Amino acid sequence: MADSSDDEDLRQAIAMSLAESGGTSSFPADNDNSEDEDTRRAIALSLSQDPASGTAQPPGSQVDSVMGSQAAASKNEASKYAPATGTTNNASAQPRTDKSSTAKPTGLLGLDRKAMEQERLARAGKRKRSVSPEMPSKQIMKSTMSEPAAQASTTNGLQYPRGTVKRTWASKHSRSNDITLGEVLQQSTLNIAVFSAFQFDSTWLHENHLDPYKVKQIWIFSAKGEDVQEKLLREAKETRIPNFKMIFPPLPGQTLNMHGKLMLLFHDDHLRVVVSTANMIKEDWGEVGNVWQAGVMENTVFLIDLPRRSDGKLAEKIGTAFGDELLRYLRAQKVSQNVLDGLLKFDFTATAGFAFVHSLAGTTSGPERSRTGLPSLAKAIRDLKLDDIDRLEIDYATSSLGALKEPFMKQVYLAACGLSPLSDAAKDVDVLERFRVYFPTKETVTNSTGGPDCGGIITLNREFYNASTFPRQCLRDYQSIRPGLLSHNKLLFARGRKKDGTPIAWAYVGSANLSEAAWGMQKVLKSGKEGSSLVRNWECGVVVPVPAENIKAADLPEGVIPPMSVFAGTVDVPFVHPAAEYGGKEPWIFRSY
């Protein structure tokens, strides 16, 4: 029997909000056993309060999120969700006073058309201004961030031709293998940008990082139900955003969210493919609305620059497993053919050393179910020759936990070994002894830069945690190596030995939390046959192997599993390790009822 863990209050709040706008709730009465933190984050952001006054802020004041079907909840729900703002809980910190908090007359997509036109005219005049003390703090922030962003954007060519993984930049933290959104976008040469995320802050994006008059944008995001989609399309049309298109991936039946974080950035001479753990909001990219406050959140980014084909023609096929699965993912999301054709103009050869992993929202059975969710991860491991495992250790950093149970964790372990989720190869393996889950304690969240106000993005229900089936012994405190930052990361680090004794290590970077909603779980019928598999979210990620030469350089004794330090230079581990078990500490609980 499935464990019912639905947030009925959430659905009621959404229904009430849609009723106020003339719509109807399209959320099903599902029985998913894991909740998605971004859903609640959207609610929290819509209910954000001014920390100094305690009064509700207007929609344009903090994060103008495009929430798809996750419409704003009613005021009565405010006490149930902690606002994910950039405020701090430390006694020495100052209250938020930046002038960017002033409400603006914006539409659903957060665009101030008058301000945009003024900025366009200013740009046309090519007038440069120096930063002065009288400038609003938002402009100061934009100016102080412009230098590193400009350096990246003037790099004409392939900056990361072999692919790389970086941490997101964080305000007031020293720079070390990190990257800003400006450096990711390379706006000075950007022509077309395809963005996939659960949340968008368009005011921040367009005022600080992207000129909508110059760059054509295609947004892929969550909107369940024709009524919600029609409302978004109507409001986008009324806002008259230039060079803009929206795509709503199918969310049939009990599916919930388009949760994948993907960018396709088309330049004259290269295509930049970006897969991250971050949404398109400033907090996820380490930014704040002023110059004195430190960042509150960290994420991780994979990016690779692919050259344009030398013959200038469309290839008949991508030619790598990475590219094939990327195309499959985009086709399933109903992305337009001209975007797919655009990918065929670039050379994907350099992606052969990586694997694109996805979850296609929906119910699958038979051969089809072997291509997405956990089977997609298993296929990736086989394609990269990282399978045939004798022993594997898993460290999984997640920002959301549902009713976690051993059977699901075993299926994740098997997939990480390149095996079917129902394989009996690990029947005698104590998976819980080989699986560590990094999730912050209450103490860590309370003492973070953002404090409990930022805890709304990190979710675990006390009912789930108190269940006898919850694997408490697997929990480890997520403490960032950059003190004070909370994590929105979804990272899987795998280390092991193959049956022939070869040591291996690889990491997954993507949008999937450690949940059945993200990965799906294969059911077994009473007859003993495989049942259908339900994946509730669209997700995507990349498997990044540690090069064999790096593992060899570790000079491991025979039979020893590679240590976590082996990931240095490939995917920097963002949290403190090894981390002790919780002991007497409590996890951060999103809600106590």
For the segment 86-107, the average pLDDT, to the nearest whole number, is 34
Binding residues for substrate: 261, 490
- Cβ burial of 191 (10 Å; 0-12, 13-18, 19+) is exposed
- Identify which of 333, 335, 273, 332 has the alpha carbon closest to the alpha carbon of residue 304: 273
Q: Where are the beta strands (DSSP E) in 234-385?
A: 244-247, 257-258, 262-267, 270-276, 297-298, 300-307, 355-359, 362-364
Amino acid letter, residue 150 = A
Whole-angstrom CA distances from 205 to 223, 237, 254, 474, 488 are: 20, 19, 32, 38, 19
d(C-alpha 192, C-alpha 304), whole Å? 16
Average pLDDT of the segment spanning 159-178: 97
CB–CB of 195/220 below 8 Å? yes
Phi, psi of 84 (to 5 degrees): -90, 70
| Residue carrying structure tokens 């006073």 | 97
Q: Which CATH class is domain 356-567?
A: alpha beta
End-to-end CA distance of the chain: 22
pLDDT in tens, 446-491: 999 999 988 888 999 999 999 999 999 999 999 999 999 999 999 9
Mean pLDDT across 346-365: 94
Q: CATH 3.30.870.10 residue ranges in the chain?
A: 100-124+136-322, 356-567
pLDDT tier at 109 (50, 70, 90 boundaries)?
low
Using an 8 Å Cβ cutoff, are 351 and 543 in contact? Answer: no
Domain 100-124+136-322 coded CATH 3.30.870.10: yes
Tell me the residue length of the chain.
Answer: 593
Residues 6+ apart with CB under 8 A from 466: none
Are 216 and 192 within 8 A, CB to CB?
A: yes
The pTM of this model reads 0.79
Active site residues: 259, 488
Q: Is it true that the peptide bond before 578 is cis, omega within 30 degrees of 0? A: yes
Strand partners, 242: none
- The pLDDT assigned to 157 comes to 63
Give the helix/strand (H/E) hosting 446.
helix 442-446
Average pLDDT of the chain to the nearest whole number: 79
Total Cβ atoms within 10 A of residue 91: 5
Q: What's the CA dihedral at 214, 212, 112, 102 to 10 degrees?
A: -100
pLDDT top residue among 329 and 202: 329
Determine how β-strand 389-397 pairs with β-strand 435-438. Answer: parallel
Locate 352 and state its tokens.
Answer: 């052969």
Can you name the residues that pair with 346 across neighbouring β-strands?
308
Degrees (nearest 5) of the Cα angle 412, 413, 415? 65
Q: Which residues of 126-164 are buried (b: 16+ CB within 10 A; e: fewer)?
A: eeeeeeeeeeebbbbbbeebeebbeebbeeeebebeebb
* 37-46, 213-222, 446-455, 497-506: segment of lowest average pLDDT: 37-46
Structure tokens at 286: 């380490």
* Percentage of the chain modeled with pLDDT above 90: 60
**Token pair 């119910």: residue:** 363
pLDDT of residue 447: 96
**pLDDT for position 100:** 33
Cα 229 to its chain centre, rounded Å, is 22
Known binding residues are 261, 490
